[in-house]
Chains A and B, each alone.
Chain A
Amino acid sequence: MSTGEPSGLPSETPKGSPWGKIAAVVIVLIVIIGAIAVWRLGQGAQETPPAISRVDITSGTNGNLGSVGLAIGFRATATGSIATYEWDFGDGVNGQSVTTTANTTSHTYAVDGSFIVVVTVHSPGGLTATNDANLLQVVITDSNYGPDDTKALAVASVAPTSATLSGGSVDITANGSASHGFVNCPACETDDSVVTGYSWDWGDGSARGTVADTTHTYRAVGTYAVTLTVTVTGGAMDSTTWTVRVSTAAASLVKNPGVFVVASIGDPQYLDPAIDYETAGGEIIKNVYDRLVKRVVDSTDPANPVLHNDQFTGSIASSWTVVSPTLWNITIRQNVPWQESSYGTVTARDVQYSLRRALMINIGPTWIIDQYLTDYASDNPLTPNDERWDAINASVVATDATHVELRLAVPYGAVLQTLDFEVASIVSQRWIEDHGGTALNTQNAYVNNHMMGTGPYKLDHWTPGVEIKLLKNPTYFGTPKPRMDAVLLKLVPESATQELLIKNGDVDWADGIPTRDINTVKTWTGLAVKENPSLIVQYMGMVEDNSWPGDPLRTINTSPFQDMHVRKAVSYAFDYNTVQNTILAGHATQLKSGIPQGMPGWDGSFWNYNTNAATARAELAQASNPVWRGGFDTTLSYNSANPVRSAIAVMVKAQLKSVLNINVTLLGVSFPQHLDNMDFRRIGMYLIGWVPDYLDPDDYLKPLFHSALCPMPVPGDPTTSDGGTNSGCYRNPIVDSAIDNATAQSVWTYRAQNYTVAQQHIVQDAAWVFIYQPNSIDPTRDWVKGYVYDPLELRDFLYLYK
């Protein structure tokens, strides 16, 4: 929109001879003509089929709202060999269509109504394409009423305006109404008696309709101008026109073509890949930066790409060799340009710098690569700084201009998966050093707020709490190329507002629609709600050890949940059906193991805890301590801001009381308080979930079940917890050794065997109450194409378009 641009000052008249200027003009003209000639010749040489990616309005409207009598500028964006553009503005005048050689034109509508602009491109060899996949709608209003006007006013509405032939025909419904003396006679406005005649011109030469509300059947593909003419008492007439587009393929009207608009609910914390550890920032980082490797996406059909979660391909790396379990040799792809061209291309030193930098900053996501690159040496505050330096510098080494060696401190089975995580994003050494550099345990405010990567989109601006805008990176090295000009993520905190926005098509994807509304939202037209099982596990943990070293009041473990029979009793008393079908309205599946269904290595065959009061009582009767057999008092902690967890907590309290006579005190608290309760193991049970970082069972089993991760006081300070993630303090040496064995191996079959053993014990020990895996629900407009479901729940904007 450049309507408000102030024009520049008139340039001064140059003194001296005009010949230099004339010569310059002639040279420029020759160059232009020459360029056109070369371009035309090039076109003649090979003809690629034309395609229209979109049609949009360049001037004369506010959004898609225009006025009668005002010229509107249009532009078509098309690829392939194109000789002419044929424009049908949908109003049935000017001989139906206009042909241009330029991709822009303008049109003035003479009547009000709702119009669809259809553009057909013709190649020199006669190939054609239309914009049926992304039609443009223009709404024209008549603002030419004077204060003293008395005139007839026709109002029409036609639905659907974009229809698909089915069995050779399609029906549309048309509703008309009219008033007279609209301006000066408000009382007449609803008076139908003044209308003496309706006439519907269907635009296909068939008999006219003569009543206000009617239907019409179209039998051929085309763009039809449906005009309603009303006559009122005294003979005054008025017309209004709506375009109906009938095509063979599904067609839709796209709003904001060129910009993919998302209504988001979370704002990034940091944009620095080495620091950020949450999904809102992760998604932006994923699209702006690239990593050494990525998961394979088959986009042979661009509208329906397929993600292969377990297959990896090079991204910044062109190839890699596993020399030994602790030595990876990575070849860096040549000529990958940075988004700011002054920084040149990616080098092996950039890769070395990026990984070392993440280890040095050492916060949130660092452990994902730290666990094998230095075996947590960079994380241990007791290790002297120079030893940490040495460990970091020894782990990643650029051996020459194109090769980087990863020298692992310990073997690890999921190196590729972790190198695909955002923390391993490749940044430009020179760019970071130009903007504050890197220091041990220190953040960089500039890199927290700015981005410069190699990915398909680059950061245009981030207004925290408001929006993030990404622009297409024209120099992106990969294939396919990004299809949208821009991606706009608007933070819309209110769910009702989100629902209205996607219903009206002003956003293409809404993140903030609550599960309870999904079944309603699914019934709306124009929406495609995608639903996939997620890899999130939701469970109720039970604290098996409530003693706390250093706390005189908690010297011995008094928890009833140390007894496997108590845990089993609770598992059998739990009402799984209510959670899945009532609380979650069916948008979930039963969790059957410590790792979710859909993850490699999953084994759900051991789970057998269907709700059964008799079995539950029988289990509790076998409790080792007779005091527990008749029930006991305990607590359940959850974050009260989460409505699903609150509802589950209430159910647990009722079930355990009625089935097992266990008195549960509910501790509905804020999320940080909840995490605190878990970190100090000062509760009986807790409701929590686990979101995967990368796609490997190790990311679940080790943090959640390994005894080494039972929360403990930090050495010398009983008032601080080390924040271990096995909050229930589940301990089973068999499980520990199975997890350790699997972690250190890279042969999948061997790892899978170990994971099966671990899962069997975890489930049979009733380490948790395994509750559910929620479905991942993505409400999108039906014009959204290139949707890929990624269980890590970060969108890949590269494939998305509309």
Chain B
Amino acid sequence: MRLLVYIIRRLLLLIPVLIGVTLITFAIGFVIPTDPVHAWCGQKCDANQMARIREWAGFDLPWYQQYWNYITRLSHLDFGLMPSQGFRPVSDELSNRFPATIELTSVAMLFAVILGVPTGIISATRKDRIPDHLTRAIALSGVSIPIFWLGIMLLWLFYGQLGFEWFAPVGRLNITNQDWYTTHKITGIATLDALAQGNFEVFKDAALHLVLPGFALAYTTMALITRMMRSSMLEVLGQDYIKAARAKGLSERVVIKKHAKRNAMIPTTTVIGLSFGALLGGAVLTETVFTFPGMGQWAVTMLVLLDFTGVMALTYITALIYVSANLVVDIIYAYLDPRIKLE
């Protein structure tokens, strides 16, 4: 019951946060010193034509009216029309791209946790021995290698040099399967849709197309998780209750698994939760390198074209995800450590 009240209160707090986000993103569109209409209209565009596009985009209205229109639309979950894209609705774009990015970031998160947590534990329990040095080297490379470089190198090696056709960076599926998927889309998450309709060939294809971008995207987060897991594990292992557990004669496995791991997971959970936001940011680069049609690739398009309808929608959604991830982290805290009270 207390948890429920807490969640409701946190959700209500979301409203002022999100209004703040809309204000800031809206203001950015006004303060940048360039006129995006010129970019959409081109070099050969004259004043009359620019005025017409401004009118179509609603830019001829005073700022407070524009903001009011924006907020009213947003309250119906309508993100508006993109003036740089022939005034297509943002919601079309979101319905296509959001599931793709969710699929990619989930896979990346899976990679990061599955690889990061155990290596962190191994590293801590074998401190200053070869596995530890190795893990630390990998973790260090993870936080220092730029994602786009890693992405290009993975492609160059597995697709360019080793010639694995199924990694061809032509999107989420190879060209023949894309045709099937255009007519068989359900949720937009290609792997699930293919499984649900029993098409294992498409499932395999979609899964393989997630391997390289998923790994490239996961690498930084994995490194962070490893480092966090290692240090918090070391801290926990030095605590008295661990000594007591060992003195009781428990096997090292039980000590690590039952007593140390859960406590060491608390700070790591924070990192994992907050990484979701970082993964969305990383998706911008990964999706561009792998031609993966998600939100990140779209963000680049919107920014290059100075399309603030798109940029505002993206900022808004990213903020929403960030704030929700924080909330989830707080709730998981309570589960991991019963002493933490949610008030």
- The interface centre, meaning the residue of B40, B45, B49, B156 with most chain A CB atoms within 10 A of its CB, is B49
| B160–A723 CB distance below 8 A | no
B144 contacts the other chain (Cβ, under 8 Å)?
no
Q: CA–CA, A275 to B87, complex, Å?
A: 12
A441 contacts the other chain (Cβ, under 8 Å)?
yes
Partner among B47, B56, B165 whose Cβ is within 8 Å of the Cβ of A63: B165
Report A29-55 residues with CB < 8 Å from chain B CB.
Answer: none
| A448–B42 CB distance below 8 A | no
A223-265 Cβ-contact flags toward B at 8 Å (1 or 0): 0000000000000000000000000000000001001010000
Helix, strand, loop or mixed for chain A's interface? loop
A380-415 Cβ-contact flags toward B at 8 Å (1 or 0): 010000000000000000000000000000000000
| B44–A703 CB distance below 8 A | yes
Question: Which segment, of B16-24, B297-305, B313-321, B335-343, faces chain A?
Answer: B297-305
| B45–A269 CB distance below 8 A | no
| A466–B42 CB distance below 8 A | no
**Contact partners of A466 in chain B: CB under 8 A:** 96, 171, 293
| A492–B41 CB distance below 8 A | no
A658 contacts the other chain (Cβ, under 8 Å)?
no
Question: Which segment, of A457-465, A476-484, A660-668, faces chain B?
Answer: A457-465
Partner among B38, B96, B176 whose Cβ is within 8 Å of the Cβ of A675: B38
B58-102 Cβ-contact flags toward A at 8 Å (1 or 0): 000000000000000000000000001111100011001100000
Give the residue name and chain of the A residue nearest to B291 (CB): A492
| A63–B52 CB distance below 8 A | no
State whether A443 and B169 are in contact (beta carbons under 8 Å apart), knowing that A493-B288, A494-B291, A722-B47 are contacts in the complex: no
Q: CA–CA, A510 to B166, complex, Å?
A: 20
CB distance from B284 to the nearest CB of A (A): 11
**Contact partners of B174 in chain A: CB under 8 A:** 62-63
| B300–A3 CB distance below 8 A | no
B289 contacts the other chain (Cβ, under 8 Å)?
yes
Give the residue name and chain of the B residue nearest to A366 (CB): B49
A293-311 Cβ-contact flags toward B at 8 Å (1 or 0): 0000000000000000000
Q: CA–CA, A470 to B98, complex, Å?
A: 25
Q: CA–CA, A541 to B237, complex, Å?
A: 71
B46 contacts the other chain (Cβ, under 8 Å)?
yes
Q: CA–CA, A448 to B45, complex, Å?
A: 19
B35 contacts the other chain (Cβ, under 8 Å)?
yes
A524-567 Cβ-contact flags toward B at 8 Å (1 or 0): 00000000000000000000000000000000000000000000
Chain A interface, number of residues (Cβ within 8 angstroms)? 71
Question: Which segment, of A91-99, A501-509, A590-598, faces chain B?
Answer: A501-509
CB distance from B303 to the nearest CB of A (A): 11
Give the residue name and chain of the A residue nearest to B177 (CB): A1
| B41–A364 CB distance below 8 A | yes
Partner among B177, B182, B288 whose Cβ is within 8 Å of the Cβ of A494: B288
Closest 6 CB pairs of A and B: A4-B199, A672-B38, A270-B86, A466-B293, A723-B46, A672-B39
Chain A positions within 8 Å of B, measured between CB atoms, are 1-4, 6, 62-65, 256, 259, 261, 267-272, 275-278, 362-364, 379, 381, 441, 443, 445, 448-449, 461, 463-467, 488, 490-494, 496-497, 500-501, 503-504, 506-507, 669-673, 675-676, 679, 688, 690, 693, 703, 714, 720-725
Chain B positions within 8 Å of A, measured between CB atoms, are 33-53, 56, 84-88, 92-93, 96-97, 152, 155-156, 159-160, 163, 165-166, 168-171, 174-180, 182, 184, 194, 197-202, 204-205, 288-291, 293, 297-298, 300-301, 306
A selection of 8 A-B contacts at a CB cut-off of 8 Å is A4-B199, A445-B86, A448-B86, A449-B86, A464-B93, A465-B301, A497-B290, A720-B47
Contacts A363-B53, A494-B152, A496-B156 known; 16 new A-B pairs at CB < 8 A:
A1-B180, A3-B199, A62-B166, A63-B174, A259-B175, A277-B45, A364-B44, A443-B87, A464-B85, A467-B171, A500-B156, A504-B159, A506-B170, A671-B39, A672-B306, A673-B33
